[in-house]
């Protein structure tokens, strides 16, 4: 298996530990008291988001994960899993709700997404950065307060997603949501 040297480690690098892919979320080069170098990493599982700390010595090797990105279209929910089709081969591949989290609210049929595969298995999906939703529930908008968008109130989209929106948003408005954070981005049109 291909391996990184400890000296190759840096923030953002993807590595394989005990058969699981991790991303290095924080990295610190240490060289305490004229001693040997140490590479301290905070790691986040690319499968379930769990985190851990590891310290590597210069002689240590760390696995390079077999990761691959492919274009995929979202197809349908089969009652249990979410089914995507490979943009080139049309092969249908499903991913479970746990892996998608709140992003299940942002799936749009035939939207082009990027699938991330680890050892040939789909482990994550990157959705289009912004999607549009209609507001179904929120307190009535406050007139003349369009400038202070930092004051927020709760709202629910027409597919049941809870999101904080600025005070000027009304039921029926179409809003844009950032799928990376799940947060309101801007108003597209009034309802």
Contact set with other proteins (CB under 8 A): 7, 9-11, 27-38, 40, 55, 57
- Residue 118 Cβ vs other proteins, minimum distance, rounded to whole Å: 24
8 A C-beta contact, residue 132 and residue 176: yes
User: Least distance from C-beta 93 to other proteins, angstroms?
Assistant: 35
Q: Please, which residue, 9 or 163, has the CB nearer to other proteins?
A: 9
Is the CB of 6 or the CB of 169 nearer to other proteins? 6
Distance in Å, CB of 25 to other proteins, minimum: 12
Smallest separation, CB 82 to other proteins (Å): 36
Task: Decide whether 58 or 191 has the Cβ nearer to other proteins.
Answer: 58
* DSSP designation for 18: T
Contact indicator for 47, 65 with CB cutoff of 8 Å? no
Tell how far CA 182 is from the center of its chain.
9
Torsion of CA 32, 33, 37, 41, to 10 degrees: 0
| Residues 129, 136: Cα–Cα separation, whole Å | 22
State which residue, 52 or 188, has the beta carbon closest to other proteins. 52
Please name the residue that has the structure tokens 């929910």: 77
């Amino acid at each position: 298996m291909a391996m990184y040297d400890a000296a190759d480690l840096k923030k953002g690098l993807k590595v394989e530990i005990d058969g699981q892919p991790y991303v290095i979320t924080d990295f610190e080069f240490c060289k305490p008291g004229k001693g040997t170098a140490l590479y301290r990493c905070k790691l986040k599982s690319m499968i379930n988001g769990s985190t851990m700390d590891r310290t590597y010595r210069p002689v240590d090797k760390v696995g390079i994960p077999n990761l691959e990105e492919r274009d995929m279209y979202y197809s349908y929910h089969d009652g249990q899993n979410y089914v995507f089709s490979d943009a080139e081969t049309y092969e249908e591949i499903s991913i479970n709700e746990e892996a998608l989290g709140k992003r299940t609210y942002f799936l749009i049929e035939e939207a082009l997404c990027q699938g991330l595969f680890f050892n040939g298995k789909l482990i994550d999906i990157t959705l289009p950065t912004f999607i549009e939703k209609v507001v179904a529930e929120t307190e009535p908008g406050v007139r003349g307060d369009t400038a202070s968008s930092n004051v927020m109130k709760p709202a629910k989209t027409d597919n049941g997603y809870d999101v904080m929106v600025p005070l000027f948003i009304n039921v029926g408005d179409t809003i844009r949501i950032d799928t990376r954070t799940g947060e309101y981005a801007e108003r597209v049109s009034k309802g």
